[in-house]
Structure formats: C-alpha cells, structure tokens
Amino acid sequence: MAGITIKEYGLAFVWACLKEYLGASWPIALIFVVGIAVGIAAVIMKRKKKDPPLEVVDARDYVPGKYEDSPLPDSSSILWMFLSIVLLCLLTVMNPFLVRPLIPKFGMTTVYYRFFWILPITFGAAYWLTRVVGSIRRKLVQAAVFAVILGGMAFIIPLNPGIPNVRIPTNVYKVDGAVPVLCDAIHEDYEKTAAYQKAAEKLAGITDRNSKKWLKWSGKQYPLCVFPYGIEFSVRQYDPTIRLLFNRNLRLFYEGNTSTGISYDASHKRYMRRKQVLDAMYGKDPDLTSQEFQEAMEETGTRYLVVEEHLANGGFLVRAGCRQVGVVAGYTIFRYGD
C-alpha cells in the first residue's frame, strides 16, 4: 500500500494497512464487528434460556414446520463462519509477528491490502443489515428502516471514488479521442522509413515463428514511442503495434507514483536514459545537452516523441535532431532519425 512499509511501521504495519484499506468506509467494518458481537450475545442469551415445556396443539392450529425439531444448523452457523475466518486471519496473515518477517520476503508489501479481501467485511456488513431489515414484519416499516439505513450510510460514508469520475466516452474504444488519430499518424510516417522496410524484409525471410530471430525482428517492425502520461497507458490497449519506451513501473516512478514499491536512482542506467528523453520533451532539465539527449535516443532506439502542443520543448528537440511530423489533436509528434 502506498507509503506504508514494514520498515517504517514494524508491528503496527497491519493496523496501518487496515486503516488505509477502510479509509472513511470504517462504518462498514463497524457494522460487521457489531453484528458479530450482537450475534455472540444472542447465542449466549439463547443458551441460558431453558427449553420450553411440551405444548399440546389443536390440529386446527397446526402450522407445518413450526413444531418439528430443526435438523439443520440455525443462523448462528454463519456467525461462527465469519468468526472463524476473522480469528484464523488474525492468527496467520494478519498476525503482526508473522507479517513483519514474511511479507517483505514474499515481496507483498505493496499488495498486502489484498489480504483484507479474505475478511468478509462487505458481505458480513450486508448480511447483518439484511437481517435487521428482514426482521421487520410490517412492509411499510421495513421499507422506512431500509431507506433510513441506506440514507444514513450515504450521509456518513463518502462515495466510491470511481463514481464521480465517470465520463461519457467519446468513442466505442473508450480511450481518449486523440489516441486513434495519433497512432494512425505515427504509422503512416513510420511505414515510409528505412527501419520499417528493413524489419519487414528480415521478417519475410524468417519462417520459424518460434525462433529468437523472429521475436527480435517482429518487434522492430513497430515504432518505439513516448507518449504523454495521460494517454500512455491506453495507447497499447488500442494499438499494440506501437511500442513504448517506458514500461509500467518506470513511467509510474518518473511521474512520482511510488505505489509499486520500486524505486530507481542515478545508478540505474536504463531508467536514467529514459528519464533524459522525457526531461528533454518537457524541458525539465536545463542542464541536459543535445549530445546527451541524442545518446539516450540512440541507445534506446526511440523513434517518436508525442508531446502536448503547449508543453513541448520544440526548439530543443529540433536542434537535437528531431523533425516535427505534425500537430494532431493538440499533440505535437516529433520523429528522431531517418
């Protein structure tokens, strides 16, 4: 989980993660816990009650099923199921003394939140709420209680963060409208280059599609590009024949997102070269020279740089050997090399 490490929190790691996991939705967990507590109290109370004396029933008052012994476990069995899941989790995957040495060993610090999925908080809370609403016999009162519960929860707990972010998609692919036109423009330009022709020729001569050689050249027939962060991750969903310079973790780290738990420093040459390309695109590093930029482009084999028109460090890029291919949908496309 972002910003929570075992190194920093030690034995409090599990608690810190749980707080981060629940956030402002803690009342849901509270409903689950209170439900279990009330359930246990109800079971204890029930056991204290003595068995009622045998009842003589007139055949006319007989209701099927009312007087037979139930052969099936009652609702308390669900309570015990919830309780056993919680207790076993507390003893194992949520035991701070086990978590501290084991979770970093398995590389699960950043994905530890998934262990909270084992706890039936959502289903448990919904179960208790359903029991409360369902226990009311009169329909009108039941509907009113249902509305009050939902209204109260909506008043206390913030909405799912995805809901306010919904937008009407502008195309059937559900990607930014600029992505299809940018991809088309890049392909149109790249197919005229010598690099594309060479890769196509080499591939035509390779018959074994399971060879290492085929793997190598089949990649090279596609242009290697850098896109702005806002659209980068949707480019290959829409058009997998565009190659990207940055992989997921490298790009997230460059943009300041450390949720992956991976960090790169100056000794990481692969990252530093890629960083120089992005720094040059946006003019983020005034000390970066044209030569350093060219080395980074050559080493990585990058062909196309796509930058927001108003943010592009165009002067530097052109001086450093890039050629402006065009301005498409508010983005400027630069090509490096022939």
Site residues for another protein, 48-77, by CB under 8 A, read 63-68, 70, 72-75, 77
Residue 226 · residue 255 · CB < 8 Å: no
CA distances to 5, 130, 143, 154 from 146, in Å: 41, 9, 5, 12
- Residues between 166 and 185 with contacts to another protein, criterion CB under 8 A: 166-169, 172-176
Q: Which residues contact 125 (CB under 8 A, 6 or more apart)?
A: 28, 29, 31, 32, 35
- Residue 219 touches another protein, criterion: CB under 8 A: yes
- Residue 297 touches another protein, criterion: CB under 8 A: no
Nearer to another protein, 132 or 314 (CB): 132
Instruction: Select from 111-119, 186-194, 262-270, 291-299 the region that touches another protein (CB under 8 A).
Output: 111-119
Q: At what angle do helices 194-204 and 212-220 cross, to 10 degrees?
A: 150
β partners of residue 243? 224
Instruction: Select from 181-189, 193-201, 245-253, 277-285 the region that touches another protein (CB under 8 A).
Output: 245-253
* Helix, strand, coil abundance in the chain, percent, nearest 5: 55, 5, 35
In the chain, which ranges are E strands? Answer: 224-226, 243-244, 304-308, 322-328, 331-336
- Residue 330 touches another protein, criterion: CB under 8 A: no
Nearer to another protein, 115 or 304 (CB): 115
Instruction: Select from 40-48, 151-159, 192-200, 305-313 the region that touches another protein (CB under 8 A).
Output: 151-159
Backbone angles phi, psi at 304, to 5 degrees: -125, 140
How far apart, in whole angstroms, are the C-alpha atoms of residue 118 and residue 147? 29
Nearer to another protein, 218 or 294 (CB): 218
- Residue 207 touches another protein, criterion: CB under 8 A: no
Minimum CB separation from another protein for residue 147, in Å? 11
Q: Are strands 243-244 and 224-226 parallel, antiparallel or unpaired?
A: parallel
With CA atoms as reference, report the closest residue to 226 among 250, 195, 202, 191. 250
From candidates 190, 222, 304, 331, binder to another protein by CB under 8 A? 222
- Residue 316 touches another protein, criterion: CB under 8 A: no
Nearer to another protein, 278 or 288 (CB): 278
From candidates 247, 258, 263, 290, binder to another protein by CB under 8 A? 247
Minimum CB separation from another protein for residue 210, in Å? 5
- Residue 96 touches another protein, criterion: CB under 8 A: no
From candidates 8, 23, 46, 263, binder to another protein by CB under 8 A? 23
